Amino acid sequence: MANYFTELTSYAVMASNNSERMATRHNRRDYFLLNDGYDDESLPTDRLQGFPDPDPDPNLEPDSLLDIPSSEILPSESISQALAESSSSAIPHPQKRQRPAPVTRWMWDYFQITEIDQEWINKKTKKRELKDRDIRCAYINDKTGLQCSWATLDSLRQTSTTNMRRHLEKHAILSPQLHFTASNKTEQPTIVDYMAKNENLSHQQLLEKNILRWIIKDKHAFTTVESPAFHQIFHDIPGISLPPSSRSTLRRRLVETFKIQRLQLKEELAVTCKSIALSLDIWTSKNHLPILAIIGHWLTEDFKYQEKVLEFTELHGIHSGENLATAVQCTLSELDLESKVIAITGDNASNNEVMASELYHALKESSPEIQFHGVDSYIRCLAHILNLIVKDILRALKSGSTQEAYAVCDSLREGEPITTQTALAKLRILALWISRSPQKRQKWKEICQYMDLPDRFIEYDVETRWNSTYRMLDSGLKAKYQINRFLALQTEIPPFTDNDWQRLSQIHQVLTKFNELTLFISEKRPQISLAIPLYYELHDLLHEGAEIQGAFAGIDHDIAAAMKEGLKKYKKYYTFVDECDTYYTALILDPRVKGDLILGELDDKEAGSLIIEAIRSNIQQRYSKEGESPQPGVSRRSTPETTRNNVESRMLQRLQPPTQPFVSDINRYFDSPRVSIIDTTDPDWLCNWWRIHKDEMPQMAAAARDYLAIPASEVAVERLFNTARDILGVRRFSMKGDTIRMLMLMNDI
């Protein structure tokens, strides 16, 4: 029993020492609490209530102190065993530590959460989750009033919130627990951070950005960054780390940059674009991928012309109008342009008309207020129409084709004699015959050097390239002496006669006019306001040639007959133009022209007046604001109300009539004389004029902003295809469609 009390006393002393140590620890900083967010150095109440009093009453008996009844301790048990068994109730312990709130808790306030009945697998826990969540950014743009379209799913993010945090940083939303801004983060910024913002870049960041731009702009293979020689460049530069050294890393950064640039394009369209016109076409790449390209054209509030590649995607399935309409609608939906598209310019393929009709019905269902009206809003490419007219003229002249020229060259190689050919067909065969043989190319250069004449080869035409026949004919006429000398030294191709050269000269005279018109249309600026004048000039050109008049007096009758065939093709497509109000509206919106050209060109003056009045009525119906036009008989003060506080203002007020009839700016524009300008070399004159007068005539300026951005041709898309051909080099021939898409859409990085 003595041993029992001795042991009990020793444990009481130990408990007292523990209490003293607890009191000492009471004065120390509690780092656990600091990490949980407490700023006080003293222990909170919820932590103190679970500990024994640090200063127990010394008068208490040992049994009372430990709160262990002595009757419950058996002789065979030690005090430590009793303490262990009663520790959960005898000695109060701190309450179970509460898990602190996640550091990412703050960001959920900026997202909208919607549960989805969709199973998914958590890759970390390997468990199947029965519910998924749609997580959408709730940020509202102050300028546009539109909600951000960024979204993700639990199944995609896999419990990670990094992308959510980075997305909020784009909106300048940072964690409230972090007392630093994006400019002085402690973590190393990624290429996404500094490409998304206009901030000062370090040398390393600027280097990586420029390398990515270099890869995209100069169309290098991704494997370029894996070259040891490429690595050595940066190893030899002190203070510069090696940029992305693998193609997979480079592609990941390309994807990150592409996503940011896509969001920036959407924001730019939301702010600067009131309406947009599209030009599109389909192209088959060298690696046999069908590509749909879409370019957007619009005018900003200050009438600055903008042109952006909106889509360059692989087209899956058949090239039907329905399939095209679905692809176009996906692009419009992604960029929030469904209610803004006003017109589409494309070639004369029949599936484009079906596409325009199907797209109209699809947009009508998704958006109640649309500006696109199906086939009535479809603009046929004027450059393509010119090409079709020229093809009909050349077909009537029996000028042959590139395929026929290849067949003749193959026959000549096998020793077969050449059949009778027209002058133009024989020139095409000669150009191809020389270009296909290295020996004949050398012989051509020797002859040119001997004659001291330019040794430039004759261009051979390509059926899919506009004006290529004209360029072949032009270079052939310039190399007349070289051609005659070359043919005199061989026997495969008969020489050209004087009659042949005269005929080639007449065909060249005809094609020169078409080349001039095509080059004018191909300029990089909107031409819709000049479409009607171009059609009028084209009609005069074909009519003079068919009647052997004017500049074409003296041409052969078979060439005149060929131009009659071109005139038939012209009339077919002019019918489509005459039925579309867009062309006439854009023409009238040119203050240098207005309706005078229509009245001057049409024989039926009454019909011309009806067209002008119909355009006036359409503009009034569409652009007149509610409440702006007063009731009949109501007049408006000529000057705003002013306080007559000086002699000058009272004098000016006295000279003004008290009231004058209200005239809308639409009627004022139509009824005023056109601007008298004979010639202008400024390609932006029309947009600059409307920028200056937009406050004076806001309704007409709104119409001008919509219509004057519509392209008359799809030349911009053809130019884009030429750029895409350069992307698919020998080392990039297996490139997939999604990679081509990113590179083309980021080409203006």
| Sequence-ordered strand ranges (E) for 329-398 | 341-346, 378-380
How many whole angstroms separate alpha carbon 326 and alpha carbon 305? Answer: 28
Residue by residue, DSSP assigns 560-572 as HHHHHHHHHHHHH
How many whole angstroms separate alpha carbon 332 and alpha carbon 337? Answer: 5
- Between residues 37 and 111, the one the model is more confident about: 111
Write out pLDDT tens, residues 422-431: 899 999 999 9
What DSSP state is assigned to residue 140? B
Contact 474, 484 (CB under 8 A): no
- Per mean pLDDT, which of 296-305, 464-473, 619-628 is the most reliable? 296-305
How many whole angstroms separate alpha carbon 114 and alpha carbon 136? Answer: 9
Q: Does domain 276-381+714-745 correspond to CATH entry 3.30.420?
A: yes
- The pLDDT value given to residue 645: 66
How many whole angstroms separate alpha carbon 250 and alpha carbon 231? Answer: 14
Q: What are the sequence ranges of the domains in the chain?
A: 2-90, 105-255, 276-381+714-745, 398-521, 528-624+665-707
Write out pLDDT tens, residues 361-413: 999 888 778 899 999 999 999 999 999 999 999 999 988 888 888 888 888 88
Residues in the chain: 749
Map residue 250 onto helix, strand or coil. Answer: helix
Task: Find the mean pLDDT for residues 327-356.
Answer: 93
- The pLDDT value given to residue 626: 41
Write out pLDDT tens, residues 651-693: 777 777 666 566 789 999 999 999 988 777 788 899 999 999 9
Write out pLDDT tens, residues 223-259: 889 999 998 888 888 877 878 888 899 999 999 999 9
- The pLDDT value given to residue 712: 92
Neighbours of 724 (CB within 10 A): 20
Neighbours of 51 (CB within 10 A): 17
3-state secondary structure 286-346: CCCCEEEEEEEEEECCCCCEEEEEEEEEECCCCCCHHHHHHHHHHHHHHCCCCCCEEEEEE
* Percent residues over pLDDT 70 in the chain: 79
Tell me the pTM. 0.69
- The pLDDT value given to residue 167: 85
Q: Distance between alpha carbon 122 and the CA centroid of its chain, in Å?
A: 35
